[in-house]
Amino acid sequence: MKTKRLLLFLVLSLIVCNILEAQDNYVPTKENLENRQWFQDAKFGMFVHWGVYSVLGGGGDAGIAEWIMQNKKIPIKQYEKLPSFFNPLNFDAAEWVAMVKDAGMKYITITSKHHDGFAMYDSKISDYNVVDKTPYGKDVIKMLAEECRKQDVKLFFYYSQLDWHHPDYYPRGRTGQGFTGREESGDWSSYLDYMNTQLTELLTSYGPIGGIWFDGMWDKKDADWQQGKTYQLIHKLQPGALIGSNHHVKPYPGEDFQMFEQDLPGENTTGWQGSHISELPLEMCLTINGSWGFNLMDQNHKSPKELVHMLVKAAGRNANLLLNVGPMPNGEIQPEHKSSLKTMGEWMDKNGETIYGTRRGVVAAEDWGVSTQKDKKLYLHVLDWDKEVLLVQPFTEKVESVVFFKDKSKVNYRLDQYGLLIEIPKNKKDEVDTIIEVILK
């Protein structure tokens, strides 16, 4: 009788364990928590969308890049010709990483596999990868990982859970349907095994990495992704690695940061964002023009001023900016983008103190700008304000001093029940960002 009860108990516990998501009770390690701090202090990273789609440069359409397979309904059989054109002879990992550092960026997030299913690293489980299928034949991710380590830049891997190439990505989702030419059958759990094997490769062959940046779950919203199991695997292999997923909904247990695509946290110009902003570290990703992957016709380059504004506005909302470039098929970054990154770096050289290591300040984001803060130092970033007097309200702090950050000259101010009134004479205005340093009591 006793043994029967024990057996029943064991069976029931097994069932309960299986029902509970594997990361429901996730407790981040000390190392993970430290990395979250590091991430929030770092503030600025480079996103890289590079794949065999880059070769087509959007195919003459300014709105298409890494989605060309889906947008132009290219069957797998045809798309599989692309890797043979991928030969980035001018790729210089050392130069990329130096450019990133000069821009004031602290980390890189690169596409290890995008929706097209092509691995940009030396995957052993599938030869649909950069080493086996391209004339270049080198593991570009490994080259970048080594250089990042040398130059002290963290490397994160973007990984698309959605796959337009793998036969077992079935039942199909909202994209990658019949045009791909796949059999209308497949084994979902084999696909999940494949994905977990690829993630294991990425977490065991490239040294310690910053984290995994997932994308594509939205393709099959209601599927059983068993993400808890995947997250558990990642945290087991590298407890310090930060996991985030671009699923546009409230973060799931096991995730370490939350991202927002092409929108500041709290905004929803794209119509994809859920309204939830979690307590996790936040990151906003943004295209430097209008495309993620390389697009030959995209002339929609954001100006350096716009880019600095996005970085500052993100920081004022507690979010990092992950600014994207789409390298050309020859391995180079477009000159326009290099130039913008350089200008941002010059701005960060002078003003980085008001961004790195700060958090959202006590003054909420407004139309005129945002605030950032480190301990008692509050920085008001006046981004869009023509008048010479600015009333910052509500403002209930006690003030020790107020100066212009640029030259430490005194700011005329008045503090009363209406708020903090500051004078910004014309000759003190900065074209990009007039930063007022307020020392709080």
Residue placing its CB nearer to ligand H79 in the complex, 35 or 70: 70
Residue closer to ligand H79, measured from CB, 260 or 347: 260
Nearest 5°: CA angle at 437, between 323 and 382? 55
| Phi, psi values for residue 303, rounded to 5° | -75, 155
Contact 156/51 with Cβ under 8 angstroms?
no
HSE of 185 in the Cβ direction (CA atoms, 13 Å)? 0
Burial of 390 (0-12, 13-18, 19+ CB in 10 A): buried
| Residue selected from 170, 179, 188, 218 as contacting ligand H79 according to rule CB under 6 A | 218
Q: Is 201 in the site for ligand H79 (CB under 6 A)?
A: no
Pairing of β 282-287 and β 258-261:
parallel
- What is the spatial distance between Cα 259 and Cα 143, in angstroms, rounded to a whole number? 27
Question: Could you say whether residue 136 binds ligand H79 (CB under 6 A)?
Answer: no
How many binding residues for ligand H79 (CB under 6 A)? 12
**Least CB distance from residue 245 to ligand H79, whole Å?**
11
> Between 114 and 360, whose beta carbon lies closer to ligand H79?
114
Q: In the block, which residue shows the tokens 């964002």?
A: 273
Interface with ligand H79 includes 116 (CB under 6 A)? no
Helix or strand or coil: residue 437?
Answer: strand
Order of strands, sheet of 359-360, starting from the edge strand that comes earlier in the sequence: 359-360, 369-374, 377-382, 434-440, 399-404
**Cβ at position 213, least distance to ligand H79 in Å:** 8
Binding pattern for the stretch 57-76 against ligand H79, x by CB under 6 A and - elsewhere? ---------xx---------
Contacts with ligand H79, 238-257, as mask; x by CB under 6 A: --------x-----------
Binding residue for ligand H79 (CB under 6 A) from 73, 174, 250, 429? Answer: 174
Residues between 277 and 316 with contacts to ligand H79, criterion CB under 6 A: 285, 292
41, 261, 263, 430: residue in contact with ligand H79 (rule CB under 6 A): 261
Name the residues that contact ligand H79, by CB under 6 A.
49, 66-67, 174-175, 215, 218, 246, 261, 272, 285, 292
